[in-house]
A = this chain, B = another copy of it.
Amino acid sequence: MSGLAREDYLADIYRLQCENPHDPVSTGSVADRRGVTAASATAMFKRLARDHLIVYRNYGGVSLTPEGQDLALGVLRRHRLVERFLADVLHIPWQQVDTYADQMEHALPDEVVDRMEVLLENPYTCPHGYPIPDKHGHFAQPDLILLRDLSVGEQVRVARVNERVPGLLRYVEDLGLMPGSLLRVSARNPVDLNVTIETEGRAHILGLRVSEAIWVERLESRG
């Protein structure tokens, strides 16, 4: 009936577009993300383009049409609301909810999603800090900075942790750096790009792989 794989492709194209807003999304990047061959991605692109969900030029990558973006945002909405539900209501560890939500997101009727949203009291973000689109596709776009790009002395709040970096969620949890945590940058090493932070009185040295997977929000931005 409803496209199963289609939805994942659309959502992944949207995610890749966000990560690199300037150029179009390449066949290879989608294939990598989806874990399929480039040939499979090409075949899917043709079907999606035929149905006016993406614009596809041979050898030129893809971009979402307004209609395709609506569908993609619907998938992200379901994905992130389900993640919230799994974490907050069923108490499933946040390391696992992305995988489960990826399975469930395609099988949730709108009414179920909308009622979950009410039950959860209209959350703004998923447990990892990514915004949840409302039923019209609108969502908050706060000013976030990568932890990597902070200067020494800055005091910030963790806003978002990339859920697809292997092992990162567990590591972040151990360090007490979940979304909402406060931290201060106490040092930066200009050679290896390590960042030293303090949180709850403890200091940690974070490598680049970590500091470029965590987004933060400046405190007291009035001034």
Interface residue ranges, A against B (CB under 8 Å)? 4, 86, 89-92, 96, 99-100, 103-104, 106-109, 111-112, 115-116, 119
Contact of A90 among B91, B96, B99, B115 (CB under 8 A): B115
CB atoms of B86 and A112 under 8 A apart: yes
Asked if B109 and A103 make an inter-chain contact with CB atoms under 8 angstroms apart, the answer reads yes
User: Given A90-B116, A119-B90, are A107 and B109 also a contact pair (CB < 8 Å)?
Assistant: no
Question: Complex Cα distance A168/B4, Å?
Answer: 32
Instruction: Report yes or no: A112 in contact with B100, Cβ–Cβ below 8 A.
Output: yes
Contact B103 A107 (CB under 8 A): yes
User: Do the beta carbons of B107 and A92 come within 8 Å of each other?
Assistant: no
A112 to B86, CA, bound (A): 8
Q: Report the Cα distance A106→B99, complex, angstroms.
A: 15
Query: Across the two chains, which residue of chain B brings its CB closest to A100?
Result: B109
Q: Establish whether residues B108 and A104, one from each chain, have CB atoms under 8 Å apart when the complex forms.
A: yes
Q: How far is the CA of A86 from the CA of B111 in the complex (A)?
A: 10
Residue of B nearest to A89 (CB): B119
Contacts of A100 in B (CB 8 A): 109, 111-112
A31 to chain B, nearest CB (A): 18
Closest residue of chain B to A119 (Cβ to Cβ) is B90
Q: A96 contacts which chain B residues (CB < 8 A)?
A: 111
A111–B96 Cα distance when bound, in Å, is 10
- From A91, A107, A119, name the one whose CB has the most chain B CB atoms within 10 angstroms: A107
The residue in chain B whose Cβ has the minimal distance to the Cβ of A82 is B112
List 27 A–B pairs whose Cβ atoms lie within 8 Å, in order of A's numbering.
Answer: A4-B4, A86-B112, A89-B89, A89-B119, A90-B112, A90-B115, A90-B116, A90-B119, A91-B115, A92-B111, A92-B112, A92-B115, A96-B111, A99-B109, A100-B109, A100-B111, A100-B112, A103-B107, A103-B108, A103-B109, A104-B104, A104-B107, A104-B108, A104-B109, A104-B112, A106-B107, A107-B107
